[in-house]
């Protein structure tokens, strides 16, 4: 019995230390990125390339899914609202849910799976093939060279992509509302923007900015800690996506609680 208790305590202690070590590694990496950023070491050309990856190459994926998501929300909300005669509030539900919640979270999820996984795989492959060590040998900081451009690109492009996603979700709801629910264009647009405040838009942009930071930092951390050949890169990529999604939802919960409930 005592051995089982000791084993349980040892397991809990090991998991707790691993958690603290993980959070510490993320914090150190974030601090190094911010130090490089405020030290003026940003590579402009590399940042533009990363912006193209986060924005242009992800445009159609985000655009189509955002449009379809707006249509789905409109259809789902129309069913109960028709029972009470308040189907014109479909526009309000679509716009508020898009701006406050669905827009930033949907964009973060899509770019986490598309770009975050690629970041972890890229850096993980460089770590396995000792290219990261080669950069250090050449007196080049791997964080400054590999992570900083991605960090800035995510901070710039995710808010832009989120605004685009919000607009397309509202447009998707507009298509459903004006074609299948016989709502006039003027009524739909009036209800869509009647209750959306500038504060809601700014909080959505803030969420997108934080989500971009989370995706890049977590994915880069997993890449730098990859080991064990090709399987190690695969594990790092999977872990990067899962952990990024988890922390994104946690951050979304905290921001929502701070600005809307406290």
pLDDT tens digits, residue range 139-195?
Answer: 888 999 999 999 999 999 999 999 999 999 999 999 998 888 888 888 888 888 888
Please tell me the predicted confidence (pLDDT) of residue 204: 94
The answer to whether residues 143 and 32 touch, using CB atoms and an 8 Å cutoff, is yes
CA distances, 101 to each of 16, 166, 202, 237 (Å): 32, 10, 12, 26
CA distance 177 to 210: 33
First to last CA, the chain: 46
The answer to whether residues 147 and 220 touch, using CB atoms and an 8 Å cutoff, is yes
Q: What is the CA radius of gyration of the chain?
A: 22
Residue keyed to tokens 């685009």: 164
Q: If the chain, 262 residues long, is cut into consecutive pieces of 10 residues, what is the mean pLDDT of each piece?
A: 66 85 92 90 89 88 93 89 80 92 93 92 91 87 92 94 94 90 86 89 94 95 88 90 94 92 78
CA distance 118 to 198: 34
Please tell me the predicted confidence (pLDDT) of residue 2: 56
Of residues 111, 255, 94, the one with CA closest to residue 167: 94
The answer to whether residues 229 and 129 touch, using CB atoms and an 8 Å cutoff, is no
Handedness of CA 37, 43, 45, 47 (dihedral sign): negative
Of residues 89, 150, 93, the one with CA closest to residue 117: 150
The answer to whether residues 88 and 173 touch, using CB atoms and an 8 Å cutoff, is no
Of residues 202, 220, 242, the one with CA closest to residue 150: 220
Please tell me the predicted confidence (pLDDT) of residue 136: 86
Q: Is 42 helix (H, G, I), strand (E, B) or coil?
A: coil
The answer to whether residues 119 and 240 touch, using CB atoms and an 8 Å cutoff, is yes
């Amino acid at each position: 019995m005592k051995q089982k208790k000791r084993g349980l305590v040892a397991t809990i202690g090991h998991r707790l230390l691993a958690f603290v070590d993980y959070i510490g590694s993320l914090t150190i990496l974030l601090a190094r990125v911010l130090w490089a950023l405020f030290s003026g070491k940003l590579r402009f050309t590399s940042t533009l390339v990363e912006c193209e990856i986060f924005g242009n190459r992800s445009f159609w994926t985000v655009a189509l899914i955002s449009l379809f998501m707006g249509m789905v929300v409109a259809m789902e909300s129309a069913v109960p609202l028709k029972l009470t005669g308040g189907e014109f509030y479909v526009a309000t539900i679509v716009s508020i849910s898009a701006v406050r919640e669905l827009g930033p979270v949907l964009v973060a999820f899509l770019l986490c799976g598309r770009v975050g996984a690629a970041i972890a795989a890229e850096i993980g492959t460089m770590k396995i093939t000792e290219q990261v060590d080669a950069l250090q040998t050449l007196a080049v900081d791997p964080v400054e060279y590999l992570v900083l451009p991605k960090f800035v690109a995510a901070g710039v492009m995710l808010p832009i992509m989120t605004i685009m996603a919000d607009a397309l979700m509202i447009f998707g709801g507009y298509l459903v509302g004006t074609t299948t629910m016989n709502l006039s264009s003027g009524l739909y647009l009036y209800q869509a923007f009647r209750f959306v405040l500038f504060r809601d838009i700014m909080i959505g942009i803030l969420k997108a900015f934080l989500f971009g930071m989370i995706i890049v930092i977590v994915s880069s951390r997993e890449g730098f800690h990859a080991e064990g050949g090709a399987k190690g890169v695969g594990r790092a990529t999977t872990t990067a996506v899962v952990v990024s999604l988890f922390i994104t939802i946690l951050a979304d919960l905290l921001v929502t609680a701070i600005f809307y409930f406290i």
